[in-house]
Amino acid sequence: MSEAAAHDHHDAQSTGLMRWLTTTNHKDIGTLYLLFSLTMFFIGGSMAMVIRLELFQPGLQFVDPQFYNSMTTMHALIMIFGAVMPAWTGFANWMIPIMIGAPDMALPRLNNWSFWILPFAFLMLLSTLFMPGGAPAGGWTMYPPLVLQTGDAFPYLIFAIHFLGASSIAGAINVIATVFNMRAPGMTLMKLPLFVWTWIITAFLLIASIPVLAGAVTMLLTDKYFGTAFFSAAGGGDPVMFQHIFWFFGHPEVYILILPAFGIVSAIIPTFARKPLFGYSSMVYATGAIAFLSFIVWAHHMFTVGMPLAGELFFMYTTVLIAVPTGVKIFNWVATMWRGSMTFETPMLFALAFVVLFTIGGFSGLMLGVTPVDFQYHDTYFVVAHFHYVLVTGAVFALMAGTYFWLPKWTGHMYNETLGKWHFWLSTISVNVLFFPQHFLGLSGMPRRIPDYAVQFSDFNMVSSIGGFIYGASQILFVVVVVKCIRGGKKATDQVWEGAQGLEWTLPSPPPLHSFTEAPDPSSITGGNR
């Protein structure tokens, strides 16, 4: 084959399937992550629809209790490890090299590998739905001895989690290597955009916590198949030890899911307020403080297991303390908007909804952090309401905000603003109809993960389910917006968001000093890429 023919052959290959299988380009891999995560969002969401359908009325209507519990388990695992985490990794792949002036990620082939592990891991996990004995039904927390009753599906669950962890650790190593070694000359750490900062801290959390989960699930595996008794009281083990090990991973994990959201909101709010971010360095330190504290609050998930009083007090105080740096962030976002020239395009609407609704989730978390009160709320729908406010109106809304914000950069086209706003309002109204009543259900004693319930909970459950169906359906609109944008539309200019030149995609930091008594100097905002 001549050299020219070989070159043509290579080009033909690189445009087809092989391009996507073998790509080491950070933008391609970012796109793969985002498309994969969107697919998982709908698979996990369809499981949530099954849950809400069963709970629409009391009594057993559609599925048997075993399958119902499989749905709650799989829904959580897919949404956490399949939808939210890969989506953040997709954002990191796309934006971090651009934000720090690097040509690509530091470890491009590792990058390709860490993505392609994911589809196989989820095929293993989803295949358990078709196995004798059914999918795992022990909750996403996989507590023994319940999870050990899982049949043939058990090793598939454990190995899938190992693969997901390997993918996350590889991605985290890549982010750290990239940011520390490939920043543009003169870009010190305290000049990094906040999205990059939140991702560095997230990467360290991943590297510190995922191996703990790997250890816990390996011990489960040896308990079931190799005769060990780590978590079996009959053999001298302790099932509560599993909870300690699991939540030592699990609490940093919830910050892994939310910290990149803080970074995105910290990019969007200054853009649409036409003002530099208020308190850049305090935002960096607050993020670091949250990450550090996330490792010493884990047992607030376990107040009811019979801890000593000193342990309960310790975990209560550290849990309440973590509200302080989170409050600093919310204050800074509000201060950024104060006297800004705000406009309300779709990314800003999602970012504002994030600030308000994430704060609701934060306050209910503060309630759950108070030990004697938690004894009443524990394992009720109040907890379900709390973490869905943090993860749906928190993480998922920030993902939506970031997608609308950067779609013009990714595709070269503007999305349809009218459809975007429809998507926002339908999502925001329905998500509150879905999750707000669950606070009342929990406060009146409805337990979670139960397919049937007493009749006094009927009305709120029906309202919640209707909200859930509308929320699920309105996400189809999101896909329509994204597909229309990819296929064409108004060309995006180099200054996508009007009047925010130099602020549109990354905000160089730290910003100039400013005072709240005067309107910001327009030249500091519209003067090109400062």
Is position 300 annotated as part of the catalytic site? yes
Q: Cα separations (Å) of 514 from 46, 499, 501, 509? A: 48, 19, 19, 13
Category of 278 on φ-ψ map: left (φ > 0), alpha (ψ -120 to 50) or beta: beta
Active-site position among 114, 266, 430, 464:
266
Active-site position among 104, 514, 524, 530:
104
Is position 244 annotated as part of the catalytic site? no
Is position 406 annotated as part of the catalytic site? no
Active-site position among 26, 52, 300, 388:
300
Is position 458 annotated as part of the catalytic site? no
Is position 140 annotated as part of the catalytic site? yes
Active-site position among 183, 224, 251, 275:
251
Active-site position among 247, 255, 377, 505:
255
Active-site position among 28, 54, 223, 253:
253
Closest CA to 240 of 110, 143, 373: 143
Is position 266 annotated as part of the catalytic site? yes
Question: Which alpha helices (H) appear in 128-238, and where do they start and end?
Answer: 153-181, 194-225
Q: Cα separations (Å) of 404 from 350, 409, 430? A: 9, 10, 20
Determine the Cα–Cα distance for residues 439 and 427; give it in Å rounded to an integer: 19
CB neighbourhood size of 410 (10 A): 18
Is position 329 annotated as part of the catalytic site? yes
Active-site position among 178, 326, 428, 465:
326
Active-site position among 88, 140, 199, 471:
140
Is position 448 annotated as part of the catalytic site? yes
Is position 75 annotated as part of the catalytic site? yes
Closest CA to 389 of 428, 331, 445, 332: 428
Closest CA to 125 of 173, 172, 167, 87: 167
Is position 404 annotated as part of the catalytic site? no
Check if the beta carbon of residue 220 is closer than 8 Å to that of residue 158.
yes
Check if the beta carbon of residue 404 is closer than 8 Å to that of residue 398.
no
Active-site position among 329, 386, 388, 423:
329
Determine the Cα–Cα distance for residues 182 and 103; give it in Å rounded to an integer: 8
Active-site position among 301, 378, 386, 423:
301
Active-site position among 448, 449, 484, 514:
448
Active-site position among 75, 162, 183, 423:
75
Check if the beta carbon of residue 441 is closer than 8 Å to that of residue 460.
yes
Active-site position among 89, 167, 198, 380:
167
- 431-446 residues labelled b (16+ CB within 10 A) or e (exposed): bbbbbbbbbbbbeeeb
List residues with catalytic annotation.
75, 104, 140, 167-168, 251, 253, 255, 266, 300-301, 326, 329, 448
